[in-house]
Amino acid sequence: MGGAHPHTIADDPSTRPQAVIHGSRKHVVGDGEAAAGAQRSLGPRTYGDGLPGATIMLRGACELRGEAGVRLLGMLPPLAVVPAGPRTQAALDLLAAEVARDEPGQDAVLHRLLDLVLVLASRAWRRRTR
Contacts of 46 (CB under 8 A, 6+ apart): 99, 100
C-beta of residue 101 within 8 angstroms of C-beta of residue 43: yes
- Alpha-carbon gap, residue 94 to 21, rounded angstroms: 23
Average pLDDT, the chain: 74
Q: Where is pLDDT greater, at 39 or 99? A: 99
pLDDT in tens, 49-61: 666 776 666 777 6
- In this prediction the pTM is 0.64
Q: Where is pLDDT greater, at 22 or 121? A: 121
**Exposed, middle or buried by CB within 10 Å (0-12, 13-18, 19+), for 41?**
exposed
Report the sign of the C-alpha dihedral through residues 45, 5, 9, 120, in that order: negative
